[in-house]
Amino acid sequence: MGLTKYQLGQLVEPISIRCGIPKCDYVSGVNIFKRFMPSRNVGADTSKYLVVPYGAFAFNLMHVGRDGKIPVAMNDSEKDVVVSGAYFVFRVIDESVMLREYLYILMTSPEFDRYATFCTDSSVRDGLDWSRFCEFEVNLPPLPIQQKFVDVYNAMLANQRTYERGLEDLETAIAANIEEFKHTATRVAVGNLLEETDVRNRDRAIANVQGINIKKEFMPSVANLTTTDLTKYKVIQKDQFAYSAMQTGRDECIRIALFHEEEPVVISPAYSVLQVKNESEYEALAEYVMLWFSRRESDRYGWFISDSSIRASLELPRFYEIEIPLPSIEKQQAVVNFYKARHLMTRNISKLGNMLRDICPILIKGSLEETAKYEGGTYK
């Protein structure tokens, strides 16, 4: 028994289950990494949104060509997922023919994304029609071979989920400590803890340009740097903060991130570089300060006190006025140990996620090669 050719329309079917809740608070979207993520579309009437039950898929047929990817995700959690009505929700018709996990692995491969991009229409959105999607042809191995390679994928996924559960436990421990400090520790203005430093990349020794996102993480700069004078860019070292005063109100987020790497990078001169004061009557750990400003409560307060300009900025002098609870250095260190463990675990989860994406085309290739050796339930 070799490969069997099917059109996707023979293997999957659309489903439409309405949410029915006007203000559902667990709406998700799908990112370019083909995972569900919390939606930022708040305040909408969600009663007509779609439910993605366990084992079903959701994907957005718009922007496929723009992103070069099909934003598709499979609900492998124990809870239903709710998505916007702009998504298509579908499921595998018969898992005795194709396993849903095998389909997900197939759709995660770069080859599938490239073909989907090729098949998009010529609209401004570069979308992909459902009918065109159903015409895609796939070569399916026998079910035992599908299962063999799905088991490999699931083993790696289970490893990632173990890390994620550990991360949730760490988050709980950190939140409990911070909540205690809110009610017991003396409050100190940020200006008494942090100070600005300004070291420029005058010799162009550093070419790695970074920015920060609303998750308070460093990321490669998206700016066009072709004609940029990097001598004006600011150098940031380990345990220093990058701070952006702009758009705090718009994003409801204080743009601050702590740099953890050994090798310095440069950031835009629009940022401020902050560090813990060397000479101060107060002892503060940089990680503890970052923990405080990682909280949604801190972000909401930053949005509340941002100015009324078009950018809704939180300028540095106003930021310095924010007071945070400052426990003893021993208590700070205890919760910082959780913070460091969380940072390490987050990096491991990210690496595992990258490995999962990278291994998908390898698993597909392996399953096709394995089929060539498989006949009548046994190997040749």
- Every domain of the chain and the residues it spans: 4-140, 186-326
Question: Residue 44: its pLDDT value, please?
Answer: 77
What single letter denotes the amino acid at residue 336?
V
Question: Residue 104: its pLDDT value, please?
Answer: 93
Taking residues 97-111, report their average pLDDT.
92
Question: Residue 197: its pLDDT value, please?
Answer: 97
The answer on pLDDT for 66 being more than 80 is no
> What distance in Å separates the CA atoms of residue 216 and residue 244, rounded to the nearest whole number?
11
Helix (H) or strand (E) holding 103, with range, is helix 100-108
Question: Residue 380: its pLDDT value, please?
Answer: 53
Indicate the fold that domain 186-326 takes in CATH: Adenine-n6-DNA-methyltransferase TaqI; Chain A, domain 2 (3.90.220)
Question: Residue 168: its pLDDT value, please?
Answer: 85
Taking residues 360-367, report their average pLDDT.
88
What single letter denotes the amino acid at residue 93?
I
Per CATH, 4-140 and 186-326 having the same topology is answered yes
In CATH, the architecture of 4-140 is Alpha-Beta Complex (3.90)
3-state secondary structure of 27: strand
Helices (H) and strands (E) in the chain, counts: 10, 22
In the beta sheet, which residues pair with residue 276? 194
The answer on pLDDT for 124 being more than 70 is no
The answer on pLDDT for 1 being more than 60 is no
Which of 28-37, 47-56, 122-131 shows the lowest per-residue confidence on average (mean pLDDT)?
Answer: 122-131
The pLDDT tens digits of the residues spanning 257-288 come to 999 999 999 999 999 999 999 888 999 999 99
SS (H, E, C) 139-202: EECCHHHHHHHHHHHHHHHHHHHHHHHHHHHHHHHHHHHHHHHHHHCEEEEHHHCEEEECCECC
The pLDDT tens digits of the residues spanning 186-199 come to 999 999 999 999 99
Question: Residue 120: its pLDDT value, please?
Answer: 84
The pLDDT tens digits of the residues spanning 310-352 come to 788 999 999 999 999 999 999 999 999 998 888 888 888 888 8
pLDDT band at 62; cut points 50, 70, 90: confident
User: 234-270 burial string, b = 16+ CB within 10 Å, else e?
Assistant: bbbeeebbbbbbbbbbebbbbbbbbbbeeebbbbbee
> What distance in Å separates the CA atoms of residue 33 and residue 172, rounded to the nearest whole number?
26
What is the average pLDDT value for the chain, to the nearest integer?
A: 89
Task: Tally the C-alpha atoms within 13 A of residue 23's C-alpha that lie toward its C-beta.
Answer: 1
Q: Taking phi first (over 0 means left), then psi (-120 to 50 degrees means alpha), and beta for anything else, what does residue 367 get? A: alpha
Orientation angle between helical segments 100-108 and 143-184, nearest 10 degrees: 80
